[in-house]
Structure 1
Amino acid sequence: MRRPRLSRSRPRPSIVLASVAAAIVASPFAVVVAGSDPRPADSHREIPSTTIDELGLADVPSTVLDIAESGLAAAGIRLPEPDPRRADPSADDRPVGAVVKHITQDKPLKMVGFTWERAVDASMLLRAKRTDGTWGDWTKLEPIETADAPTPEHPMGTEPIWVGDAREVQVAVTDDGLAIPAAESPSGGLVEWGIGTASAVVEKLLTTAMSAMTATLISPESLLSLGSSLLTPLLGGPSVVARAQWGADESIRCSQPAYSPAARAAIVHHTAGSNDYTPEQSAEIVRGIYAYHARTLNWCDIGYNVLVDKYGQIFEGAFGGLDRNVEGTHTGGFNKSSIGVSMIGNLDQVAPTPPMISSVARFLRWRLGKAGVNPSSTTQLTAEAFTDSKFPAGAVTSLPAISGHRDYNNTSCPGELGYGALTAIRSMVGGAPPSPSAPAPAPAA
């Protein structure tokens, strides 16, 4: 059981993910062609570890920032109006700013997420310090909604965000855009400002939200390289970076895949992380998401069926075979009979690149054609119970065969610019003539 106020790294066993090496290229375990049984990666190779360190957010050092100079005001954050009758006289005329948490590490942080084990009503923004010493923009962290209330065994969390080589990040926790106000004391500590109408905000954020939150620091090992020699061709479709090739350690999966009788729709997502990554780092991002989904959130596997980076590299997601109707964990209430494709990046901030759009279209052209789905048609899915769904349990949807996550759930995913790209994706996929075929038998457990 994890305790959210623990400030040191918890003694959870390291998460081990397979490395990509020359041996993989010749390995028979990397086959992901249509009609073949999916097989786990070779467990006898030497593999580096992906570590996950967890810090109670309440115990992370705080600092106070001027909301204008820090960019918080531009990000929509404001301070509550103080009540002069309750102002702290020790604050004098010192400027009041917003309290944020400051996480530092003597090595690259790489990927950061936040989880909570009891209900939390707050929003979060994060910024990372660049290697040149300047701070990047604030990014709003998107929550991952689940069907049930959070528990220590199955916490809720934000989408993890890639920060790469950054060794410092700052996190602002807010209540409907209101931050915790404070001023710096002469001794260097923080003096809580007279809060008046902000008292409920401060109490909620300090005693309820921050005390329940855990910062999750994910450090996947880097790859030697990614290139054409590491790509696996799908029979009649595009080449992909298979699970064994991006370094999935199948020993951290805690269940066998579930299969739907048919695939009827594709649902497009974005990872909501950073847009600043290299082609080699894409595999690290996928391994980090895999570790976070499988172990931190206890989903047993990565939630998406496929991930596509801005360079057009296609990564195999959930275990079970890309030509089979594997049920992922990507769209609450609609994981059955759907294919979850996630574009790597924050597509509220930048538009998907032409290579990314082209690769998403190439994959869906192949996959929907194999499923016998007309990509220009509407399709029907039956909603299962899910708190954040736009549809009640039992409702039958009628949506485009290629839709966005926001069409099914109350979310901004796949971002404004990602959602806007769906028209182009549908157009590019539309040339695929449907070719119905029954899914191959599921592999033995």
Structure 2
Amino acid sequence: GRELPPPGVSSEHQPHPLSPAQPLLGLPPAQPGSPFAPLLPAAGAAASRAGSRPGCPRIISRRQWGARPPRSRVPLRTPVPYVIIHHTAGNRCTSQASCIQQVRGIQNYHMDTLRWPDIGYNFLIGEDGNVYEGRGWRTVGAHAKNWNYKSLGFSFLGNFSSRVPNTAALNAAKSLIQCAVSKGFLRRTYTLKGHRNVFATSCPGNALYRVISKWPRFKAKP
């Protein structure tokens, strides 16, 4: 059965199950002018306010992807010492419209099925080359049991057990890490980990794990 949280700890801070494909399917396509998924100008336009600092990737804000408001939030004390990499284990997305559908589906699953107050990840990374704001820089996530209060959780959209994310996604993730450091939300002496390094799980998938294990500041063991 599902492990119960210790007294006084919300169940949302338990490790998330791999996001099933079902909640990510059947969502209405993004419509021009829709309040749920307003598309940004083509790549190369000014980044959203969430990632406007030079050197940061293009970040699609919660407002821009049509996020539901959180039911509650806990402030994150920054800069944190860790960044933890995940994959959603769902469908891939290579366009902004399809990635928005994925992110909205994940938020619905986390809030409606798992009964968490918001989407669990701090940021999500699409193979369209964009980063999608989850809980953001200043809010404790729900992505890695016992590590949420001292880390940022970045999740690649898709299943990377047997394939590697494309170059656009990998570059966006590396840029996001440097962005976190430059904005003061992640320590310059940070440690990078995969979800499997802090909990018994296959996340972030074997193929992606092999890639991040070669990135700077990666450390498998505490």
Q: Do 2:93 and 2:128's aligned partners in 1 also have CA atoms closer than 8 Å?
A: no
Secondary structure at 1:264's aligned position in 2? Answer: strand
Q: Could you say which residue in structure 2 is the equivalent of 1:160?
A: 19
- In 1, the alpha carbon distance for the partners of 2:160 and 2:18 equals 13
Instruction: Flag the 1:340–1:276 CA change in 2: closer, same or farther, 3 A.
Output: closer
Q: Which has the higher contact order (CA 8 A, sep 6+)?
A: 2
**1:334-385 deviation per Cα after TM superposition (whole angstroms, max 9, x unaligned):** 10120000001111021111111100000101102324623xx5x6xxxxxx
Q: 2:117 aligns to what?
A: 300
Length, aligned pairs only: 200
Partner of 1:255: 72
Letter in 2 for 1:336: Y
Query: Match of 1:269?
Result: 86
TM-score by length of 1: 0.41
Q: What is the match of residue 29 of structure 2?
A: 222
Say if 1:221 and 1:422 are closer, same or farther in 2 by CA, change over 3 A.
same
2:157 matches 1:341: no
CA contact (8 A) 1:360 1:425 kept: no
Is contact 1:405–1:411 with CA below 8 Å preserved after alignment?
A: yes
Cα distance in 2 for residues equivalent to 1:422 and 1:365: 14
Long gaps (5+) in structure 1: 1-118, 120-144, 164-215, 380-400, 430-445
Deviation at residue 310 of structure 1 after TM alignment:
1.4
* Aligned counterpart, 2:53: 235
Identify the residue that residue 355 of structure 1 maps to in structure 2. 168
Unaligned ranges ≥5, structure 2 = 32-38
2:210 counterpart (417, 420, 435):
420
- The verdict on how the C-alpha distance between 1:310 and 1:409 changes in structure 2, with shifts beyond 3 A counting, is same
RMSD over aligned Cα, in angstroms? 3.0
SS in 1 for 2:84: strand
The structure where helix makes up a greater share of residues is: 2
> Paired residue for 1:4?
none
Q: Sort the Cα spacing of 1:243 and 1:412 in 2 relative to 1 into closer, same or farther, 3 A.
A: same
* Counterpart Cα distance in 1 of 2:205 and 2:126: 15
Say if 1:280 and 1:261 are closer, same or farther in 2 by CA, change over 3 A. Answer: closer
Amino acid at match of 2:85: V
Residues 94, 126 of structure 2: 8 Å contact kept: no
Deviation track 1:373-413 (CA, whole Å, cap 9, x = no partner) reads 23xx5x6xxxxxxxxxxxxxxxxxxxxx1110011000111
- 1:373 maps to 187
Name whichever structure is richer in strand by fraction: 1
Q: CA deviation at 1:257?
A: 3.2
Shift of 1:255: 0.8
1:306 touches 1:342 (CA, 8 Å); kept in 2?
yes
Overall identity of the aligned pairs, in %:
27
Cα deviation for residue 275 of structure 1 reads 2.8
Deviation track 1:128-162 (CA, whole Å, cap 9, x = no partner) reads xxxxxxxxxxxxxxxxx75539xxxx699743334
Who is 1:202 aligned against? Answer: none
Q: 2:196 aligns with which of 406, 424, 427?
A: 406
The 3-state SS of whatever aligns with 1:330 is coil
1:290 and 1:364 mapped to 2: Cα distance? 22
CA deviation after TM superposition for structure 1 residue 295, in Å = 2.0
Q: Is the 8 A contact 2:24 2:90 kept in 1?
A: no
Residues 358 and 331 of structure 1: is their aligned pair in 2 closer, same or farther, counting only changes over 3 Å?
same
Q: Which has the larger radius of gyration?
A: 1
Against the structure 1 CA distance between its residues 146 and 254, is the aligned structure 2 distance closer, same or farther, given a 3 Å change threshold?
A: farther
